[in-house]
Amino acid sequence: MITGLGVLLCSTTFLHLSEYVVLTVIGFTLFGIGLGFYATPSLDAALSTVPDSAAGAAAGMYKMASSLGNAMGVAISAAIYAGGQLVDPALTQEWGLFVGRQDNLVLRFGGAMGLLFNVTMVCVALASIIVTVPATPAPLRTVQRARPPRAWTWPRRRWATVAPHRPHPPHLKEHHDRRENQRHLRPGGPGH
């Protein structure tokens, strides 16, 4: 809503230049504040239900959709701006809405139409958020992680985490077998 209000203030191209400059500075300030309040919560909401293993892909898809939407919005706004310049200046002068200089009337009218399209898109986005986002947040899911196996170790007589058995590579197998045999033969080893 803050962003929409900022764009709406920027679309007041029918005012005198001095008034328009003040409203544009206020409008761009509100626009920046609104984007700041929107960007992080939007990304958090988009990624809140995604498992950790897919978070990178989901963030990439979100950013791609955001960039694509920005590009399409700029293209449509520019097309509306260019189309607004084709309107007969006599028609807009009859409305009596535009004050000040009249030689740049078609530029001001096109700019107002392009910016008002953006205000319309903000209203559509707000309506879609109200309709699609649930009023109560979904409960957080906890991920159950498997515990590593535990075994009774000797000689300390305590429980310890056991690393999974990995077979020895063939070139180290003889060395491993020789060490196991030597360990069993030592006094106080596992066989005694």
Residue 9 to residue 18: CA distance in whole angstroms: 14
Angle, helix 2-10 to helix 105-132, in steps of 10 degrees:
170
Q: How confident is the model at residue 144 (pLDDT cuts 50, 70, 90)?
A: low
Q: What's the confidence (pLDDT) of residue 72?
A: 93
Mean pLDDT of 4-8: 87
Q: Indicate whether 118 and 154 sit together in one domain.
A: no
What pLDDT, on a 0 to 100 scale, did the predictor assign at position 22? Answer: 93
| Same-domain status, 155 and 119 | no
In a domain, 47, yes or no: yes
Separation of alpha carbons 44 and 27, rounded Å: 26
Least confidently predicted of 22-36, 90-104, 150-164: 150-164
Residue 117 is part of which domain span?
2-132
Q: 19 with 134: CB under 8 angstroms?
A: no
**Percentage of the residues of the chain whose pLDDT score is greater than 90:** 12
pLDDT value at residue 79: 94
Residues 86, 175 within the same domain = no
Is the distance from CB of 82 to CB of 110 less than 8 angstroms? yes
> In the predicted model, is pLDDT for residue 167 greater than 60?
no
Query: Would residue 192 count as lying in a domain?
Result: no
170 in the same domain as 84: no
190 lies in a domain?
Answer: no
Pair 154, 67 in one domain: no
Report, in angstroms and rounded to the nearest whole number, the Rg of the chain calculated over CA atoms: 34
Query: What would the pLDDT profile of 48-63 be if each residue is shown by its tens digit?
Result: 888 888 888 888 998 8
63 found inside a domain:
yes
CB of 105 closer than 8 Å to CB of 86: no
36/127 same-domain check? yes
Q: Is the pLDDT of residue 137 over 70?
A: no
Q: Is the peptide bond before 190 cis (omega within 30 degrees of 0)?
A: no
Task: Give the number of other CB atoms < 10 A from CB of residue 115.
Answer: 21
Question: Does position 45 have pLDDT exceeding 60, yes or no?
Answer: yes
Average pLDDT, the chain: 77
Number of domains the chain is built from: 2
